[in-house]
Amino acid sequence: MISKDARSILEYFKALLNDLRVSVIPPENISNDDSFLEIDQTIKTIRNSATALGNGNLSEDINGRGYVLGSLKNLQASLRNLTWITKTIASGDFSQRVHFLGDFSEAFNSMTEKLESSIHELEEARSHFEMVFQTIPDATVITKVADGTLIAYNRAFMEATKFTDADLTVGLFNISDLCIDASQRESFIKTLEANGFVENLEVCFYGKNNEQHTGLVSSKKISIDGMPHALSVIRDITQLKAIEAKLQQSEERHRLLADNAADVIWTMDLTGRFTYISPSVEKLRGYTVEEVMAQSQEEVLCPGSLVQMHEGLARAINSVQNGLPFQVYRGELEQPCKDGTTVWTEATVSGIYSEDGRFVGMLGVTRDISERKLMEEEIRRLSITDKLTQSFNRLKLDETLEHHNKWAQNGSAPFAIIILDIDHFKLVNDTYGHQVGDRVLIELVGLLNETVRHGDVVGRWGGEEFLIILPDTSLMDAARLAERLRQAVANHSFATAGAVTISLGVSAYKNDTAPESIVSRADRALYLAKEKGRNRVEVC
């Protein structure tokens, strides 16, 4: 049995430690005892400090001696440092790392690195979009659907309209004000709302100083911050319309214009026979005007483009037969050249009408777009390629996974994937520096490409993780290939870094509704390989 005094002391400390809502009064008989006061003060300091930390209050310094208070001081210092690091990350500085919180440090640092990588990829994607947007040769704008407020525009729009950056204040300039005919604006909005897109709608609009233009508008409805916007490409056909008008007035005046145009201008009767071709065709295809006039349509267009042109013109002529205006045709066509090569062109075809309004033929303008096609192909290549390793990037891998998953769902061949990760890659970076780490990633991609089969897709999944998509492959075949990859890397001596190993997770299609399922299983297998000691293959 303990004494009454001892019990009162125990009850006091018990209440002091367990109930913050009660104002605890110490026993009177010892309330002035120095030893008791020292212990009492220490426990109160511990209680108050623990309460402050639990509430996220790091502003008050913890004072006092002893093991517990020392531990609380260390925890407070760690949390203050962590708070400072998170603020630096929020400001865009990803250079700081956490090294003082055990397992949490590794998870936090991994999260920071992935966040930095994701932000970098988003910045690259934005840069690619900006490059594509600004290099589109036709006037291109993004506007609010509701009121026509201008959100973005490219250089071609400025060149077409003669407006300057000072004129086009984003968020204040209203592109609806440029419409000459309000009914065309209403038709544009109605079609966009109904279909989600507008294709080759002819509109009349003002440029700077009230210059009048005619354009073909093709738009796609997109969402920005949850609000409907329109991404519109405007092909200025003012010159074409002027030529069309001049044709109706004077064939000779038209020929004078067409003969001196850089683009190939041509006319065709209702039987599909050329009635005029401008001399610039020889520069484009190598054939003289006389040679082209004698060619059949099969000799003028490559097979795929011939089908495309026939379908487009059939729709346009059908419109005329039903009493509607000729629907302007615009398409990219491949044409054979005299030297055996081909050239990509863009053709715009409109109707020719007699003075009494009868449809009598077609007027076309053909433009060389070879350089643009090469630029588009290079932009496409850059958009799906990892800048460092030159393997496919996350965007391309996601597209390929989606494609194979849908293909497998439709009953075609199943597929498998491998996710691999470089073991202790952080140690390589810390020991030899990031330049050596980058060279290891590049060398690794070379080894992977040498080892995988033709048709397999290798790409960088993120950081030091890579994903390989294996079409028409079973789980066991994928596991065998993964083992060959593991051995190839383990037996390879990397420049400067020397020996490097990888861990691999393998999974195969299992009637998955989405590609995320097969990726999740491969991730679990990779985690298991890491848990079992690394430098091994696991399947899931």
Residue whose token pair is 């989405």: 514
Examine the pLDDT at 459 and tell me if it is beyond 90.
Answer: yes
SS3 314: helix
- The answer to whether 160 touches 139, Cβ cutoff 8 Å, is yes
pLDDT of residue 12: 66
**Is the predicted pLDDT of residue 14 greater than 80, yes or no?**
no
Asked if 443 contacts 464 with a C-beta cutoff of 8 angstroms, the reply is no
pLDDT in tens, 523-540: 999 999 999 999 999 999
Q: What is the pLDDT of residues 102-126, one digit of tens each?
A: 666 677 777 767 777 777 777 776 7
The share of the chain scoring above pLDDT 70, in percent, equals 82
Look at residue 24 and tell me whether its pLDDT is greater than 70.
no
Distance CA(84)–CA(49), nearest Å, equals 20
What's the length of the chain?
A: 540
Q: Can you tell me the mean pLDDT for 357-376?
A: 86
Element (H, E) at 205: strand 197-206
Specify the amino acid at residue 334.
E
Could you tell me the CA-to-CA distances from 57 to 20, 62, 80, 298 in Å, in that order? 16, 11, 10, 80
3-class SS of residue 98: coil
Sign of CA dihedral 189, 191, 194, 197: negative
Nearest to 220 by CA among 298, 143, 129, 156: 143
Amino acid at 471: P
Helices (H), 4-102: 4-18, 34-54, 67-90
What is the share, in percent, of the chain residues with pLDDT greater than 90? 26
Per-residue pLDDT at 483: 95
Answer yes or no: is pLDDT of 294 > 80.
yes
**Residue 369, both tokens:** 């777009």
Res 19: pLDDT: 60
- CB contact at 8 A, 27 and 9: yes
Q: Per-residue pLDDT tens for 29-60? A: 665 666 667 677 777 777 776 776 667 777 67
Query: Can you list the domains of the chain with their CATH numbers?
Result: 4-86 (no CATH), 136-236 (3.30.450.20), 246-374 (3.30.450.20), 384-539 (3.30.70.270)
State the pLDDT at residue 1.
Answer: 59
310 token code pair: 């026939």
Which pLDDT value is given to residue 21? Answer: 56
Mean pLDDT of 131-152: 82
Q: Is the pLDDT of residue 500 over 80?
A: yes
Q: How confident is the model at residue 499 (pLDDT cuts 50, 70, 90)?
A: very high
Q: Cα separation of 295 and 291, whole Å?
A: 7
pLDDT at 155: 86
The long-range contacts involving 350-354, CB below 8 angstroms and separated by at least 24 positions, are 350/237, 350/240, 350/241, 350/244, 350/326, 351/316, 351/320, 351/325, 351/326, 352/244, 352/247, 352/248, 352/267, 353/248, 354/248
More confident site: 315 or 255? 315
Lowest mean pLDDT among 44-48, 330-334, 459-463: 44-48
Q: Has residue 357 got a pLDDT over 70?
A: yes
Cβ contact 232:140 at 8 Å: yes
Compute the mean pLDDT over every residue in the chain, rounded to the nearest whole number: 82
For position 31, what pLDDT does the model report? Answer: 59
CA triplet 526, 530, 534: central angle to 5 degrees? 115
Nearest to 130 by CA among 122, 197, 218: 122
239 neighbors 258 (Cβ within 8 angstroms)? no
What pLDDT is attached to residue 226?
87
Tokens of 444: 């690794």
Q: For residue 157, what pLDDT is reported?
A: 84
Per-residue model confidence as pLDDT tens digits over 222-260: 888 888 888 888 888 887 777 777 766 655 555 555 555
Average pLDDT of 356-380? Answer: 85
In terms of pLDDT, which residue wins out, 378 or 396? 396
* Contact partners, residue 477, CB within 8 Å, separation at least 6: 416, 470
Q: Has residue 274 got a pLDDT over 60? A: yes
